[in-house]
Amino acid sequence: MDKYKNLTRNFERGIINLNPIQRGGILPVEARKAVYEFWDGYSVCDYCGGRLDEISTPPICEFLEDFSKFVNLDISRPTHGAREGKFIVMHSICNEGDYVVVDGNAHYTTYVSAERARLNVVEVESEGYPTFRINPEKYKEVIDNLEDKGKNIGLILLTHVDGNYGNVSDAKKVGKIAKEKGYPFLLNCAYSVGRMPVDGKKLNADFIVASGHKSMAASGPCGVLAFRDEFAEKILKTSSKFPVKEIEMLGCTSRGLPIVTLMASFPHVVERVKRWDEEVKKARYVVEELEKIGFKQLGVKPKEHDLTKFETPVLDEIAKKDKRRGFFFYEELKKRGIGGIKRGVTKEIKMSVYGLTWEQVEYVVNAIKEIVETHK
Ligand SMILES: Cc1ncc(COP(=O)(O)O)c(C=O)c1O
């Protein structure tokens, strides 16, 4: 039992963390304070009248209304994350064996959600190396092809910002195609809602899934599913035996600390998305500076999102000579108080400077330049 004593994160405090999946989930002070109030199990259930989304102390009910306005859709429900939101939509609005059309950059959780809902998945391939761009027109081709074969299409899904290249896809166009063809359209906003402004109706989305721990400054796991009124009947169907309980939510989803941090961070998140242009400038600055030392940005150029993937042949060359091999980069960064880059990997790296101050961004860029210059 000793292994459970004094659990620590084993991640340096105060380190600048460049891991893209973690940068959007850092809690502001207000949310950290809420942790101390709500750390017990079922801590949001003190005044529950039977359903999570109707709780007003703490203000979950109002939060869901505020969130719907934030993403400009009609109804919202808490989830445990983006993946659970995708599964709920697939399971409630599709029929077993239906086809889901997804982009070639879709996250693995899109595929496992579809599998769990017993659906088939067809991909719209990206344009491949080096941009990996998703061409909205290709959705039309894939849909036509499925229709010609007499297949039932249940859902069109697009990853708004993918987790590999940080490409911002043209949701509005894909949504328009889905609408013209008469299919519901789900936008996976795990990497967008909470970082950048997202307007569901403007983007022609019927459903948006968001991730609290990835992009809304919340503890994991939590997220939100927002959708249009017309899908309420299917998504919010209640149990015949327990008429107050929504089946797709298994009664209640996030019922403790994570949803509290999501709410406590919400004002901070609402403010930070207004500064999105500045975050994009930071990402472009990083690309401009690191391409000077031989890094090559993959994905669409110029950057429109903080998640940035580089090919790094220069690091690979150094790794061949350095006795620490691929680990030299991680170790040199660590010495300089920087973490979050995968250990031992030198061919390609993924990073983000989202939410760092300009001073920190410059520090990171200079540290990487110095490591390369002094080791090559
Ligand atoms: C594009 C994308 N969608 C979904 C997810 C999963 O989000 P969650 O953990 O909230 O289910 C990720 C995680 O990396 C992602 O990159």
Beta bridge mates, 124: 103
N- to C-terminal Cα separation, the chain: 47
Whole-prediction pTM: 0.97
**Ligand 1 close to Cβ of residue 340 (< 6 A):** no
* The domain defined by 275-375 carries CATH number 3.40.50.1980: no
pLDDT, position 147:
98
The whole-angstrom separation of Cα 155 and Cα 324 is 48
Burial of 373 (0-12, 13-18, 19+ CB in 10 A): exposed
Q: Kindly give, in sequence order, each residue whose CB lies less than 8 Å from that of residue 294, ignoring residues fewer than 6 positions away.
A: 312, 313, 314, 372
**Ligand 1 close to Cβ of residue 82 (< 6 A):** yes
Atom of ligand 1 nearest to the CA of 191: 1
- Identify which of 89, 211, 213, 224 to mutate to test ligand 1's pocket (most ligand atoms within 8 A of the CB): 211
**Ligand 1 close to Cβ of residue 305 (< 6 A):** no
Distance between Cα 317 and ligand 1 center (Å) = 32
Distance between Cα 214 and ligand 1 center (Å) = 7
**Ligand 1 close to Cβ of residue 191 (< 6 A):** yes
The whole-angstrom separation of Cα 200 and Cα 93 is 18
Q: Which residue has the tokens 């503890």?
A: 219
**Ligand 1 close to Cβ of residue 110 (< 6 A):** no
Distances (CA, A) of 188 to 85, 100, 161, 254: 9, 13, 8, 19
pLDDT, position 12:
65
Q: What is the ipTM of this complex?
A: 0.98
Q: Are 93 and 231 within 8 A, CB to CB?
A: yes
211 belongs to an annotated ligand binding site = yes
The whole-angstrom separation of Cα 45 and Cα 57 is 9
pLDDT, position 142:
98
pLDDT tens per residue across span 10-62: 666 778 999 999 999 999 999 999 999 999 999 999 999 999 999 999 999 99
What residue's CA is closest to ligand 1, atom 7? 82
**Ligand 1 close to Cβ of residue 190 (< 6 A):** yes
The closest alpha carbon to 300, from 290, 289, 287, belongs to: 287
User: What ranges do the domains of the chain cover?
Assistant: 29-272, 275-375
83 belongs to an annotated ligand binding site = yes
Q: Are 364 and 353 within 8 A, CB to CB?
A: yes
- Identify which of 107, 187, 216 to mutate to test ligand 1's pocket (most ligand atoms within 8 A of the CB): 107
Atom of ligand 1 nearest to the CA of 85: 11
223 belongs to an annotated ligand binding site = no
CA 235 to chain centre: 22
- Identify which of 214, 224, 342, 354 to mutate to test ligand 1's pocket (most ligand atoms within 8 A of the CB): 214
Q: Which residue has the tokens 């022609």?
A: 204
Distance between Cα 327 and ligand 1 center (Å) = 27
**Ligand 1 close to Cβ of residue 352 (< 6 A):** no
* The domain defined by 29-272 carries CATH number 3.30.830.10: no
The closest alpha carbon to 212, from 254, 247, 249, 251, belongs to: 254
Peptide bond into 20 cis (omega under 30): no
Q: Are 303 and 287 within 8 A, CB to CB?
A: yes
The whole-angstrom separation of Cα 354 and Cα 308 is 10
82 belongs to an annotated ligand binding site = yes
Distance between Cα 211 and ligand 1 center (Å) = 7
Q: How would you write the pLDDT of the chain (376 residues) with one tens digit per residue?
A: 988 888 877 666 778 999 999 999 999 999 999 999 999 999 999 999 999 999 999 999 999 999 999 999 999 999 999 999 999 999 999 999 999 999 999 999 999 999 999 999 999 999 999 999 999 999 999 999 999 999 999 999 999 999 999 999 999 999 999 999 999 999 999 999 999 999 999 999 999 999 999 999 999 999 999 999 999 999 999 999 999 999 999 999 999 999 999 999 999 999 999 999 999 999 999 999 999 999 999 999 999 999 999 999 999 999 999 999 999 999 999 999 999 999 999 999 999 999 999 999 999 999 999 999 999 8
**Ligand 1 close to Cβ of residue 107 (< 6 A):** yes
Distance between Cα 194 and ligand 1 center (Å) = 13
User: CA-based Rg of the chain, rounded to a whole angstrom?
Assistant: 22
**Ligand 1 close to Cβ of residue 186 (< 6 A):** no
254 belongs to an annotated ligand binding site = no
**Ligand 1 close to Cβ of residue 163 (< 6 A):** yes
